[in-house]
Amino acid sequence: MQTTKQWKVDLSISTEHPAILEAAELLQKEQVIAFPTETVYGLGANASNERAVSKIFEAKGRPSDNPLIVHVANAEQINHYVTTIPEVAKQLIEAFMPGPLTIILPSNGTIAQTVTAGLSTIAIRIPDHPVAQALLKATQLPLAAPSANRSGRPSPTTAAHVHNDLDGRIAGILDAGPTGVGVESTVVDCTSEVPTILRPGGITLEQLEQVVGAVNVDPALLEGQLQPKSPGMKYNHYQPEVPLWLIDGDEVFMQSEIDKAKKQGNKVGAIISNELAQFVSADHVRVCGSRQNLSEVAVHLYDALRAFHKSDVDIIFCETFPQTGIGQAIMNRLTKAATSIIKQ
Ligand code: TXA
Ligand code: MG
């Protein structure tokens, strides 16, 4: 166990802020620091240092064959870590970075081997968050940073989520309040001729297509039984404390499933939209936003998954969402988090 420092900071922070200087110094000393990005909180370490990176895997309990995203301050720095930047990647960088996009490029091998898990490619992202930016500029280091949760748990969108999972296991947490997007970055493989989405996220398929034309989606995302190309996609993920079931149907169907489970002696939690809220009752209800505004649902999704505890409920039922726009990322995460889906 170590003491985990917590610094409350605001969004107007500069690189000279004492919290940033202290966090930067700890990162230089091979320590691990959680920091906010626009998507979720990340768990950062010096990506050029094997010992520092290994502490991320240790703190999270993360399998070592699951590579990490390297965070850099600006587009120019990407050149230091790759052999080439294909034209399509240049277009994506120009359009979406900084922002919730991660691109996979051919690695030039300068980053620690543990970061790329021995792959010949590297995942790179430029976070669009003032605290992440201040930290990157103050350290002048590339920061390897997965989401700052214990492996298998929902990603953290607040410092409290990070604290619950990692207190005593990391050197510090920079707390700048809840994150903006709520789901992680979109991971796009730019090493193939047509760029391929390996993980849906904050930048939508539609947005990518507008900039580069054709975009493929990793078939493993559509057919769950295939081996996904992104190593992290095959593990259990995003799981709440109690089983989560997806209910694919209207409000009457949702209520009848809740009532059935209650009759069997279960305490039932429900994660539902504003639209269903007036029709559905359960032992604990979490309303996560409007079906008309899926960005709002994304913002509240992980907090909702973390809101239910064994002491309160035996099972959670959650409605399904349309797979358009950011709905693809929402349904990707919910499908991974769920133990089953019941269709009307
Ligand atoms: O929004 C985000 O991307 C957050 C914040 C903290 O930046 N980070 C994040 O990292 O979600 P993580 O480690 O939870 O997810 C990284 C994903 C994993 O699915 C991993 O397998 C994939 O990116 N990945 C990393 N390097 C890769 C590579 N070279 N080829 C294919 N997939 C890769
Ligand atoms: Mg993660």
Which residue, chain included where needed, has tokens 């989606």?
Answer: 217
User: In this predicted structure, what is the pLDDT of residue 105?
Assistant: 98
Among the listed residues 30, 36, 5, the one whose alpha carbon sits nearest the alpha carbon of residue 134: 36
| Per-residue pLDDT tens digits of the chain, which is 344 residues long | 899 999 999 999 999 999 999 999 999 999 999 999 999 999 999 999 999 999 999 999 999 899 999 999 999 999 999 999 999 999 999 999 999 999 999 999 999 999 999 999 999 999 999 999 999 999 999 999 999 999 999 999 999 999 999 999 999 999 999 999 999 999 999 999 999 999 999 999 999 999 999 999 998 887 654 555 666 655 668 889 999 999 999 999 999 999 999 999 999 999 999 999 999 999 999 999 999 999 999 999 999 999 999 999 999 999 999 999 999 999 999 999 998 899 99
User: In this predicted structure, what is the pLDDT of residue 222?
Assistant: 78
Cβ 49 vs Cβ 110: under 8 Å: no
CB-based contacts of 296, cutoff 8 Å, min separation 6: 288, 289, 290
Write down the number of H helices and E strands in the chain: 12, 16
User: In this predicted structure, what is the pLDDT of residue 231?
Assistant: 66
Ligand 1 pocket, residue 289 CB under 6 Å: no
d(CA 228, ligand 1 centre) in Å: 13
Among all bound ligands, the one having the nearest atom to the CA of 123 is 1
User: In this predicted structure, what is the pLDDT of residue 237?
Assistant: 81
d(CA 172, ligand 2 centre) in Å: 18
- List CB-based neighbours of ion ligand 2 within 5 Å: 147
User: In this predicted structure, what is the pLDDT of residue 340?
Assistant: 87
Cβ 178 vs Cβ 40: under 8 Å: no
Considering the entire predicted model, what is its pTM? 0.96
Which residue's CA is the nearest one to ligand 1's atom 31?
Answer: 230
Ligand 1 pocket, residue 104 CB under 6 Å: yes
d(CA 312, ligand 1 centre) in Å: 33
d(CA 198, ligand 1 centre) in Å: 10
